Structure formats: C-alpha cells, structure tokens
C-alpha cells in the first residue's frame, strides 16, 4: 500500500502496550512517553532540551524543534546536519503539565544519559537534549524513524507513522471529554 496514507492511530489499549514495552527500551522509552503523553510533534520531542524541563514543578516547555537538514557541499558530497528551529507557529510555543508517568520516564532518561556518559568515556560528545544518541548527540529523525519501526516490530505492535501518534492522543483527549480548546492548546494549534 501507499506508505504516505494516514493509518488509524493507536487505541488506548495499544498506546498502553507501547508504553509498557518502551520502559525497557533505552532508545524509545522517553521519546514515546513524550509523544503519547503530550501529543508533541516528533521534532518537538527531539528538540526538547533539559533546560525546557522542570521536574520539580512538573512542567515541560516547547521552545523549538529539531530536524535533519540535507546540504550538498561544493564538492558534490551530501551531508546531513541536525538543525534546531523555532516552533512551527506562535501557538506551538507552549508549556504543558507532565504527569507522574512522564516524569518517571524523564528521570529514567537522566539516569540513562549518566550511564551512557560513563560508558562512552572519551567518545561522549554531550548536548543539551533530552533525547540523545549513545554518545549524547541529538538524534536524527530518520534514525529515530528506523528505531521506532524496529521497536514496533520487536514488540509486535501495529505500525503507524511517527506523526500519527499525535492524532491518537488528540482523539483520546476528546473521547475523555477534555474540552476541544484545551486539546488544541496542548497541541499548539489555534
């Protein structure tokens, strides 16, 4: 079939299964908790910096996005670099409350990064980002997509696109009788 068509987003049961499996996956745990508990865009989750997270007050600030940008050098060689941009719209810049499960995922991520830093030793590059590679660098969105698809296959979970997770979070918010204005605001929509 056509890979670009929107697949039905996950049900609440599927989302809960994803999060149960994610806890044991160093790469996917924090990312999937961010996506499924806040309705972040993939680039917003990748662009989240530790400075944007206030665990004490239970808040997370959306201040930018990260995306891979391809450049062709004068030599004809193609390179990909990760670029941080301002949020998509003025309404995309927002502050959200984080629940206990997301707070725990962020705390696990802090621990994982501390362990990764020790493990990487001299190879550790470090960065201000929450979602990072094994050497602390920001994660490229195409690498993330591959990790995501591999994770779903291993966990036996129905494949959807990264962006389709947002639709499911919005739908479940509305099904749970959360006011449309609140869902819109949380999602950075007008």
DSSP state, residue 61 = E
Q: Rounded CA gap, 186 and 27, in Å?
A: 25
Bridge partners, 129 (sequence order)? 49
The pLDDT mean for the chain works out to 87
Confidence of residue 169 (pLDDT cuts 50, 70, 90): confident
Q: What is the pLDDT of residue 102?
A: 95
Chain segment 101-116, per-residue pLDDT in tens:
999 999 999 999 999 9
Q: For residue 123, give both structure tokens.
A: 């190879």
Per-residue pLDDT tens digits for 4-13: 555 688 988 8
What is the pLDDT at residue 8?
A: 84
- Phi-psi group of 6: left, alpha or beta (phi > 0 → left; psi -120 to 50 → alpha; rest → beta): beta
- The answer to whether 183 and 175 have CB atoms below 8 angstroms apart is no
């Amino acid at each position: 079939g056509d890979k670009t068509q929107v697949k039905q987003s996950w049900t609440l049961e599927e989302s809960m299964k994803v999060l149960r499996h994610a806890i044991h996956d160093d790469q996917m745990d924090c990312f999937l908790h961010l996506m499924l508990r806040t309705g972040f865009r993939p680039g917003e989750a990748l662009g989240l910096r530790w400075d944007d997270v206030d665990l004490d007050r239970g808040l997370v600030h959306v201040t930018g996005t990260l995306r891979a940008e391809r450049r062709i050098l004068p030599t004809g060689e193609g390179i990909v670099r990760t670029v941080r941009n301002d949020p998509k719209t003025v309404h995309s810049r927002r502050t959200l409350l984080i629940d206990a499960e997301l707070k725990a995922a962020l705390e696990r991520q802090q621990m994982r990064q501390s362990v990764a830093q020790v493990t990487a030793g001299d190879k550790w590059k470090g960065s201000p980002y929450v979602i990072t590679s094994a050497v602390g660098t920001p994660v490229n969105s195409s690498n993330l997509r591959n990790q995501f698809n591999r994770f779903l296959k291993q966990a036996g979970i129905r494949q959807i696109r990264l962006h389709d997770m947002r639709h499911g979070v919005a739908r479940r918010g509305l099904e749970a009788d959360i006011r449309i204005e609140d869902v819109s605001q949380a999602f950075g929509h007008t």
